[in-house]
Amino acid sequence: MNKKIGFIFCIVMIFVNTSKIYSCTGIYIHNDSITLAGNNEDWTDYKTKMWFVPSENGNFGRVYFGYSNFYPQGGMNEKGLFFDGFATAPREVVNSEGKEIFNGNLSDYALATCSTVEEVIKLYKSYNLNQFKNFMLMFGDAHGKSVIIEGDDFIINEGEYQVCTNFCQSKTKTADIRCWRYLKADAMLKTNSGISVELCKSILQKVSQVGLTQYSNIYDLKNKKVYLYHFRNFDNVVEIDLQKELKKGKKSYDIASLFPINESFLEASKTPLNIKLLYFFLILSSIIFISTPITLIVMKKRFLKTADDMDKSPFILYKPSQIIASVASIFMLIYILPFSQYPELFNTGLPENLQDLSTMETIHLKLPLLVLILTLALTILLIIVFYKKLWTKRIRIFYSFITVLLMINLVLLHYWNLIRI
């Protein structure tokens, strides 16, 4: 019994831990006359912020973009140095042993003290980068240099442009790249000879994602300007002159408040009215699903201990039903647990494009189809059981309850647009 319980928990945690929602995109392009950088900030937090840090104590003034915790997700300083962060799958960082650990936010310190990518590289190579186990950074300056810092590896731009999404390029051969956002941006940059804000906007628009792209930035690094777009609305832009804004002192803004009312944003960002009921249902379902295999084993053992040989014979079809009910319950549990961490998805559904997924994540998204097949099979077995009056009444009721709960979950997930088949 304990081995079976342990196995169930291990399988659940493996799938839950491999479920992730990150998909930011960064680009850097330059020629002799213009240098631009751009990014899409993709996440499920709708409370986005922009704030300014004026020059003081010899540090450079800078503008940052992020969320309500005011932890910089990206930004630019008054020297035209920009950065942006990108989540990645967990990996080991091995080249930092013995190096000093920076006490504070190293990205903020880099923008406060560095003006070129060369200075950034020197700074980061001098510190312990063990914190880069699940993210990386992209920096670009006004002089035609950019770099992607993955922790152990520094990928320095050797051409006119550089693209960064959410995989480690040092660990991925060009022929093996599957991220559709990277491939789309790379193709558009290869086939467009003219560098412009409009080109950057077009690229960011093409790789933006419904419900996930919270804001988009285009940095003019030579002129120290930022073009800000909100929630995939590329028709409205807020143009920011960094030098002028820094003279106004420390300020912060809700990004949404800088733009006209966006109905799609309002619809996506509102808290579901039935959020408490939703959480209750998800928690109840999870408890029932994870206990189903154990409950079925206990019910059968108790029945067999008290029944004589004649009573045991009606347990025909019980074994396949037990397997189907247990597997379907575990699959549904694996599927709904990650979504309980991201309630915003119940308003937006899953992103339109889900090509850049690992094998485990692809399997995870196919689980509802498997649960549907198993639920139909279980329903057929139950019809036979009720018709022939097999098993005990209590066991038949429990199987019926599990089957109905599986059906309700499938219907609701379909209604919330959380099923991809």
Predicted confidence (pLDDT) per residue in 389-419, tens digit: 888 888 899 999 999 999 999 988 887 777 7
Place of tokens 């088949």: 421
Query: Is residue 6 one of the residues assigned to a domain?
Result: no
Q: Does the pLDDT of residue 23 top 90, yes or no?
A: no
Q: Does the pLDDT of residue 53 top 90, yes or no?
A: yes
CATH of the domain at 158: 3.60.60.10
> Domains in the chain: how many in total?
2
- Is there a single domain that holds both residue 184 and residue 264? yes
Q: Residue 37 burial (CB < 10 Å; 0-12/13-18/19+)?
A: buried
pLDDT of residue 362: 79
- pLDDT range class, residue 11, cuts 50, 70, 90: very low
Which comes out higher in pLDDT, residue 45 or 139?
A: 139
- Is there a single domain that holds both residue 66 and residue 211? yes
- Is there a single domain that holds both residue 44 and residue 191? yes
Q: Is 224 in contact with 78 (CB distance < 8 Å)?
A: yes
What mean pLDDT is predicted for residues 204-224? 94
pLDDT of residue 27: 98
> Could you give the maximum distance between any two Cα atoms of the chain, in Å?
90
Boundary residue ending a domain (269, 287, 314): 269
Predicted confidence (pLDDT) per residue in 143-179, tens digit: 999 999 999 999 999 899 999 999 999 999 999 888 8
- pLDDT range class, residue 7, cuts 50, 70, 90: very low
Predicted confidence (pLDDT) per residue in 226-247, tens digit: 999 999 999 999 999 999 999 9
φ, ψ at 57 (rounded to 5°): 55, 35
Boundary residue ending a domain (220, 242, 269): 269
Q: Please give the share of the chain, as a percent, with pLDDT higher than 70.
A: 86
- Is there a single domain that holds both residue 223 and residue 323? no
pLDDT of residue 37: 98
pLDDT of residue 6: 42
- Is there a single domain that holds both residue 76 and residue 211? yes
- Is there a single domain that holds both residue 250 and residue 284? no
Tell me how far CA of residue 216 lies from CA of 238, 247, 292, in angstroms.
11, 24, 45
- pLDDT range class, residue 279, cuts 50, 70, 90: confident
